[in-house]
Amino acid sequence: MNPPSAIFAGLFSAAAWGVASLLFARFLRSHGGERPPSAAGANLFKNTLAFGAFLCLWPFWGGSLPGGEVTAWLVISGVLGFALGDSLYFAALPRCGVQTAAMVGQFNVPLAALMGYLWGGEQLSWPTLLSMAVAMTGILLVISDPFHTGKGQRIRAYKAGVLFAVLNALTIASGIFVGHVGIEDVDLLPGTLLRMLGGILGAFLVAPLWGGLARALGDREESAGREVRALVAPFRRRAWWKPLVVASFAGSVLGLIPYHVALRDLDTGVAAVMFATTPLFTLPLSRLFGERYGPRSVIGTLVGFAGVIGVIRTLA
């Protein structure tokens, strides 16, 4: 039985993350999508605020910490999802736009299923594979929207954004796959706090590696130290606090509370469908935030969403 209140909670969570994505995109784009601020810095601010809020709720919400092995897997899952994955998503937002980033990010569902098949011993039926193809078709339609075409720096930025979004989907899928180990026996709030802790600690691992890699690839202005300084810059710049607090509260505090309600009270497949509706909310909301897209993005969003639903239903 899936209570209507839980279904509404799942939809509200997806809508909240969509609004947060638009707010973060506006904030990052207002600075050209470059430092300052960095995508990783905005993400660390978001994770720290959410961790503090849920830590305060823990005594009222209840729940106990899991054992050592499960704790380790949850922290690793947080590093992949909250530290690396969300940073890549934030890097994609100002470059390729919210609709493209959100749609490409939805491919984490088929990717997680594929990982379960390759390394988890799970089975993939022909209907699942067909649904994966439908999802990929929708994503490709959004990516290839002629509205995104441009020249020079604009098209290079768009391609970089799509690459960041693809890497985000890959890391989120990896986080889901890793975090699935023993997760059924973990209380929701402590489990989420452990994943967020992994996201906070992982940021200080990801940022210097990111800077070192960029320098090795030829960007002489980059360095590990510069990335770490950019990582903590949002905590020092009070002018950034208001937009970051609003966006972080919408996506990772206000949105995560109904997320947990939906996760607790809905069947797994139904909850996954509710959470996958984010691109459907950003589709009309994007216009209000100045996002640009054409008819192909609208069709691709609907086709891709149908494919994601198909994957979830055939695996349920």
Per residue in 233-251, pLDDT (tens digit) is: 999 989 899 999 999 999 8
**Helix segments in the chain, DSSP class H:** 4-29, 39-61, 68-78, 86-96, 98-105, 108-119, 126-143, 153-179, 188-216, 224-236, 241-248, 256-265, 268-275, 278-288, 295-315
**What does the alpha-carbon distance between residue 108 and residue 104 come to, in Å, rounded to a whole number?**
8
Convert 121-134 to b/e letters by CB count within 10 Å (16 or more is b).
eeebeeebbebbeb
Mean pLDDT on 267-285: 84
Domain range summary for the chain, segments of one domain joined by +: 4-315
Question: In which residue are the tokens 């950003």 written?
Answer: 282
Predicted confidence (pLDDT) per residue in 142-153, tens digit: 999 887 766 566
SS3 48: helix
Of 194, 189, 249, the closest CA to residue 81 belongs to 194
* 249-to-21, 236, 257 alpha-carbon distances in Å: 12, 19, 11
The DSSP 8-state label assigned to residue 147 in this structure reads G
pLDDT given for residue 66 in this prediction:
81
Of residues 180 and 105, more confidence is placed in 105
pTM of the model: 0.89
Instruction: Say if residue 184's pLDDT is above 60.
Output: no
For the cut 70, the answer to whether the pLDDT of residue 67 exceeds it is yes
Is residue 20 pLDDT above 90, yes or no? yes
